[in-house]
Amino acid sequence: MLAVAVDIRRWLRGDRHTPFAERLDRDREIGRLLPADTDTERVVGWWSRVDRGKCAEQPQGERLGSMRRIATAILFAMGLGLGGSVAGVALGYQGDYPVNLLALLGVVVGIPLILLIVTVMLLPGRVPGLAAVRDAVSGFNPGRWAGALLDRLAGVELFAALRSGSSFARWQLVVFSQWLAVGFFVGVLGICWLLIAFTDLAFGWGTTLQIDATAVFQWFSVLSEPWSGWLPVAAPSLELVEASRFYRLQAGGINAARAAQLGEWWPFVLMTIFAYGLLPRLLLLAVGGWRLQAATRSLLRDDPEVTALLDRLNTPRVGFEGELESEPKATDESVPAPDSVAVDVNTVVVIWNEAISVAAAGQWLQSHLGAAAGELVGLSVLQSEAEQRRLLAELPEDVQRFVVITKGWEPPLLEFSDFLNVVRDMLGSSVSLMVVPVDVNGMSVLRDHRAVWSRALAHQHDPRLYVAAADEMSASST
Amino acid sequence: MIPAFAVVGHPNKGKSSIVATLAEDDDIAIGSAPGTTRHANRHSFTIDGEPQYVLIDTPGFQRARGVLDWLESREGAAHERAGFVEEFVTEHQGDERFHDECELLRPIVEGAGILYVVDGAKPYGPEYELEMQVLRWTGRPRMALINLIGAGDYIEEWRQALGQYFSIVRVFDAVHADFNKRVALLRAFAELEESWRAPLERAVAALESERRHRRDRCAQEIADSLVEMMTMTERAGLADDADSSELQARLTQRLQNRISAREQTAREVVQGVYRHAGLQGEEDASAARLLGTELFAREGWELFGLSHTQLLMSGVVSGAVAGAGVDAVLGGATLLLGAGIGAIVGGVGAWFGGDELARVKVLGQSLGGRTLQVGPVTNPNFPWVLLGRALVHHRVVAERNHARREALSLAVDQHAMDALPEDARRRLGGLFRALPSGEPGPGSRRALSTQIGELLEADNQEVGGSLRD
């Protein structure tokens, strides 16, 4: 699971550069095919289906998994060596005086037990103050060293997030350190057993304090309580406790019978180390391993990129699928502006589609040009072509200019082109046709709008067709 | 049958803009010249690929008079009129004279509803009546949309004219319509025919759900980018006799570049979420205008971040809250001394920490030598600046209409954070303070994302500045 989680997280970071819409399509398509499992299973299912070709990185997960196994084995071996060495030193026995049980158990059980209690107390990272203590002492944690090394070798940042309260990092460190501790106690027990089996060990107890054997017996009885019922040989008797007290100044006075009696402590020693050293560590290792599994699954769920992925997997894809039309190429061809737009008695002015009020058109011409046109006609698309022809036929024969005032805010339609064709057909090719688009107030339209008209009417291919601005018109003296 | 709507009308009245807005598609061609749309283009609204309704963008009428003349030349009863329209389309298939009319009438005779678009900013003209008469001949359900292109107001005039031919007349500004208006329009479509109601209601529900998802996606992206930008560092080996100030300047520049790049990535994601991916092409030209200033320019900090007073108050409040925690742990025996000291420390930190940008450290290396580390940025105003910029950017993008084709730009003329509610500021302040000291856990990330999501939800509030395109 760790390998997959690491690879998915890394891959998703690289996938950030894929356009969002593309990711949305890709992931939802896969999401629809996945069974409705838990979030983690859906993500893993997605991972097996997604095309990782484009931005696939070298998979790091497997490598990290291998390294984690190696780190675990190294820590266990280190613990084994350390435990063996400590046991070798603690059980160092030259025959001058017995091995002091109080010192032995203090070193191999007492101190590790205190460390274990501290570890358990520091596990809930959210307790104010404890987190700071944990951070301060974590520098001495071999599990932390292993984590930092893994981060560096595998190019991940799994353990760097420890301070943020990353559940994975916390439990992985617990597991690492418990493997070390388990190794330590296996080493201690192994060396103990070897020395017991192949050398003659004698155990006793000695203290400067004025403590009598009964009190010591009570302590040992409490310690051996868990197994005294089914393994009485590993529970010391009061006689043995009384007989085992020694003073180093009297060490030379132990005879063979007493030495054999002092050797009877070994089952108690082994059981104490097992029960108060190895067993709690095995328990914490099991709990840590179980929590680590859950945290490894969370490693996926808690990653923001994975959360975003789940959103893409689970949310229906909503949107438009459509046809797109490319914008037509702009044409450079346009109808020219006339050199002059003089209005005189030989000019016919047509108001097309009520661009300005026909009733007010005369005044409009007077105010804009100071002159009147020969004819002023209102025509519109509402009239049929026949009607338009009839009205055009009524115009005088000496028309020289034909001015069409039209709505500049409207686009030039093909039916307007049709009208110009009718005009040309009726009036002949020598008459100048001038189209004057005006705005809603009868003023010149913006240059852009006029350009639209110029380009649209260029399709007429009429050499005497012009597009003029209202303010370019003038009265003619002729 | 899937509801289909043919968007028809005079050329250049915003038909494609309406389709682009409803379809949220920046790629639909919208041109100022008539004839930009030459064919009927279908845009299907789908949920997981299942079409719910179809919008059909069509060319405008070019020869409505000719069509009406042809139809009126047919003799028949009213119930035969739709058949005549179909006959017209069949008969003029391939006739270049009526190419546009065939393109726009074909979807209608195939069963599409009619959305007739006019420009309410320009006066009504009697020539429109020809188009409306042709549409009435089709006998299809129809609605008129008064679009607004420009500053004029002839809406009432249009209403009266359109009311003669259409049972539903709505004003819909394609370029400025926000999400709610788009949804309201979609609901109005459902009024055209009873059988269209269910798929259109599904579409509305999907759109509303999508809207929430978009907000959440953006909130998460903004939160993630904030976390990353706030925890970024730059390191380089420092020789014993090297000038550290030069290296520090180089690393600072590198850090700033990385932070700016991450901010840009977050913006692209936000734009992608709202389907404004096309804006990315404009980023070079628009980025500077978009948020007025570069990320690390001081004047921008004044606009987007907290003011000095707000920063001071934020420091005081959060320091007091932290100190009060100590008081609470000690059962109040400190007589609120913790809160008082916390307030002073927080205030002093905010006041004097406001000028330093990033933390600079010289670290030892295990193999000897030294490493210079610049970052993370510790300036207390920095996360607020990032947040302010992200919120304003989100607001512009979320409300930006797909019919708009100009580059993003905005002006900010007041503190972006002025409108931020006090309790949101306090909660965010707490989250921000923890960032430079290490990558936050999933809980903190979620809290930040939720908080930002709430701010985006309250989008209609004045987040900061006046926006204009």
ipTM: 0.72
Across A85-89, A376-380, B81-85, the highest mean pLDDT is recorded for B81-85
Q: Is the sign of the CA dihedral A147, A152, A157, A163 positive or negative?
A: positive
| Cβ atoms of A220 and A102 closer than 8 Å | no
Closest partner residue to A322 among B42, B129, B275, by Cβ? Answer: B42
Alpha carbon distance B127, B64 (integer Å): 9
CA-based radius of gyration for chain A = 50
pLDDT digits (tens, 9 = 90+) for A181-226: 999 999 989 998 988 888 877 888 888 888 888 888 888 888 888 8
Across A327-331, A381-385, B121-125, the highest mean pLDDT is recorded for B121-125
Closest partner residue to A323 among B42, B97, B268, by Cβ? Answer: B42
> Which residues of A fall within a CB distance of 8 Å from B95?
none
pLDDT at A90: 79
pLDDT at B122: 92
Q: Is the sign of the CA dihedral B87, B90, B96, B98 positive or negative?
A: positive
pLDDT at B132: 95
> Which residues of A fall within a CB distance of 8 Å from B27?
324
Chain A, 254 to 313: residues with Cβ < 8 Å from chain B are 298, 302-304, 307-308, 311
Chain B, 274 to 293: residues with Cβ < 8 Å from chain A are 275, 277
> Got the DSSP string for B319-366?
HHHHHHHHHHHTTTTTTTHHHHHHHHHHHHHHHHTTS--EEEEEEE-T
B365 touching A (Cβ < 8 Å): no
User: Which residue(s) pair with B142 in the sheet?
Assistant: B114
| Cβ atoms of A39 and A98 closer than 8 Å | no
| Cβ atoms of B387 and B279 closer than 8 Å | no
Chain A, 159 to 198: residues with Cβ < 8 Å from chain B are 160-161, 163-166
pLDDT digits (tens, 9 = 90+) for A214-267: 888 888 888 888 888 888 888 888 888 887 777 766 656 566 666 777 778 888
- Residue found by looking up tokens 């295990």 in the block: B366
pLDDT at B171: 93
pLDDT at B407: 54
| Backbone phi and psi for residue A140, each to the nearest 5 degrees, phi listed first | -95, 5
Spell out the residues 6+ positions from residue A170 whose beta carbon is closer than 8 angstroms to its own.
A123, A125, A162, A295
Closest partner residue to B126 among A157, A380, A440, by Cβ? Answer: A380
* Range from B92-101, B386-395, B398-407 carrying the lowest mean pLDDT: B398-407
Q: Give yes or no for residue B133 having a pLDDT over 90.
A: yes
Indicate the pairing of strand B370-377 with strand B234-238.
Answer: antiparallel
A39 touching B (Cβ < 8 Å): no
Is the link from the previous residue into B107 a cis peptide, with omega within 30 of 0?
no
Query: For a pLDDT cut of 90, what percent of chain A falls above it?
Result: 10
Question: Looking at residues A305-325, what average pLDDT do you find?
Answer: 83
* Range from A104-118, A361-375, A412-426 carrying the lowest mean pLDDT: A361-375
Alpha carbon distance A358, B255 (integer Å): 71
Closest partner residue to B220 among A308, A322, A414, by Cβ? Answer: A308
Q: What residue type is assigned to position A144 of the chain? A: R
Chain A residue at shortest CA distance from B22: A320
Question: Looking at residues A144-157, what average pLDDT do you find?
Answer: 70
A459 touching B (Cβ < 8 Å): no
Q: Which helix (H) or strand (E) is B299 found in, with range?
A: helix B298-304
What tokens does B239 get? Answer: 């020789």
Closest partner residue to A19 among B47, B277, B441, by Cβ? Answer: B277
**Pairwise pLDDT comparison (B4 vs A138), residue with the higher score:** B4
Q: What is the pTM of this model?
A: 0.70
| Interchain CB distance below 8 Å, B275 and A319 | yes
| Backbone phi and psi for residue B427, each to the nearest 5 degrees, phi listed first | -65, -45
Alpha carbon distance A123, A171 (integer Å): 9
| Cβ atoms of B34 and B12 closer than 8 Å | yes
Alpha carbon distance B228, A285 (integer Å): 34
> Which residues of A fall within a CB distance of 8 Å from B39?
325
| Cβ atoms of A343 and A474 closer than 8 Å | yes
Alpha carbon distance A405, B176 (integer Å): 33
A409 touching B (Cβ < 8 Å): yes
pLDDT digits (tens, 9 = 90+) for B204-221: 999 888 888 888 889 989
Across A70-74, B301-305, B337-341, the highest mean pLDDT is recorded for A70-74
